[in-house]
Amino acid sequence: MKRVVLLGSPVAHSLSPVIQNAAFQVSGLDWCYEAIETEAEELEPALDRMRAEAWPGANVTLPLKETVVPLLDVLDPSAVEVSAVNTIVNDGGRLVGHNTDSLGFVRDLRAHWQVPADGVAVILGAGGAARAVASGLARQGLEIVLIARSPERARVLAEDLRRTHAAKVGVLPWIGASFAQIPEHCVLVVNATPLGMAPADQDTPWPPEVPLPPGAVVYDLVYTPKETRFQQYARQSGLQSMPGGGMLLEQGALSYERWTGRRAPRRQMRAALHRALERLHA
């Protein structure tokens, strides 16, 4: 049996094993997918093991999407653009880093919302997930405003976006006053932090005392619990909100295609994800 893994910390909550194992099963592949709790200092040994044992590939999640970049042999253009990797393909011992997060996010966003030709997108966070989201939105022609807990990471991301996409990018500090300074023509707010993820589901990236931009759409990359506090606030404010389950599915389907060279069985993957979410929220 061939082994594909998810590397990161924490990973116990992840539903990637559910959707990938469903895909392998329906495709008749004798493959298995499992999540391995991996700290930064354990990442290089895990990659060595991937080469030695000929694992077809892996996914990489928080907080390792940027850490893994210099440990790989080659970067696909998708990873070069984002400077973060969420998918590794083992090409005969040569580890190739891809990023399927960016395209996965945009595909899910466009399935639920007609992305306008201009406007401001506010992204909360500046890590690997934020990089993927920002790159995807910059490709759509939107102006980007970053609000992140790490000013240095936000500054570097802004510089990268200006260089690779000629994007107009602003950076605000992670303080309450910043959230009240969002430009009036804000059309989208994306939470690209883990704030609000179960079991810490009482956390929220947005200060409840600050109104959300009127008319903006809210997208929360967190998909457990079923409705985060951030999404609740959006709903109570009369705004459309979307959870991150759709992005999880799309980026996972793209990863599957990179590993196997086959078309992903999205319908069965979506059904498996839906069943898993229903069990979690029962």
Average pLDDT over residues 234-262: 97
Peptide bond connecting 243 to the previous residue in cis, omega within 30 degrees of 0: no
Average pLDDT over residues 62-69: 96
* Catalytic residue chosen out of the listed positions 2, 65, 168, 226: 65
Residue 106 located in a structural domain: no
* Token output for 227: 């409705």
- Domain count for the chain, please give it: 2
Could you give the C-alpha distances from 172 to 37, 190, 197, 251, 265, in angstroms and in order?
A: 33, 15, 23, 28, 41
Q: Same domain for 189 and 90?
A: no
**What tens digit of pLDDT does each residue of 148-176 get?**
999 999 999 999 999 999 999 999 999 99
65 is catalytic: yes
Q: Same domain for 74 and 20?
A: yes
Question: Phi, psi at residue 138, to the nearest 5°?
Answer: -65, -35
Q: Where in the sequence is the domain holding 89, given as residue range(s)?
A: 2-99+246-281
Q: Same domain for 267 and 175?
A: no
What pLDDT is recorded for position 121?
A: 98
Domain containing residue 195: CATH number:
3.40.50.720
Helices (H), the chain: 16-26, 40-52, 77-82, 101-112, 128-139, 151-165, 176-179, 229-236, 245-260, 266-281
Residue 221 located in a structural domain: yes
Question: Phi, psi at residue 92, to the nearest 5°?
Answer: 65, 35
Residue 107 located in a structural domain: no
What pLDDT is recorded for position 280?
A: 81
Residue 53 located in a structural domain: yes
Q: Same domain for 25 and 84?
A: yes
- Alpha-carbon distance of 281 to 243, in angstroms, equals 14
- Alpha-carbon distance of 149 to 27, in angstroms, equals 42
Q: Same domain for 126 and 230?
A: yes
Residue 105 located in a structural domain: no
> Does pLDDT of 98 surpass 90?
yes
With a pLDDT cut of 90, the percent of the chain lying above it is 93
> Does pLDDT of 245 surpass 80?
yes
Average pLDDT over residues 59-86: 97
Residue 13 located in a structural domain: yes
- Alpha-carbon distance of 156 to 138, in angstroms, equals 15
DSSP state of 50: H
Q: Same domain for 119 and 229?
A: yes
Helix and strand numbers (H, E) in the chain are: 10, 12
At 8, the pLDDT band (50, 70, 90 cuts) reads: very high
Of the given ranges (122-131, 235-244, 272-281), which has the lowest mean pLDDT? Answer: 272-281
Provide CB contacts within 8 A for 70, sequence distance 6+: none
What pLDDT is recorded for position 226?
A: 87
What pLDDT is recorded for position 198?
A: 85
- Alpha-carbon distance of 210 to 202, in angstroms, equals 17
Helix (H) or strand (E) holding 75: strand 74-75
At 227, the pLDDT band (50, 70, 90 cuts) reads: very high
Q: Same domain for 172 and 266?
A: no
What pLDDT is recorded for position 142?
A: 97
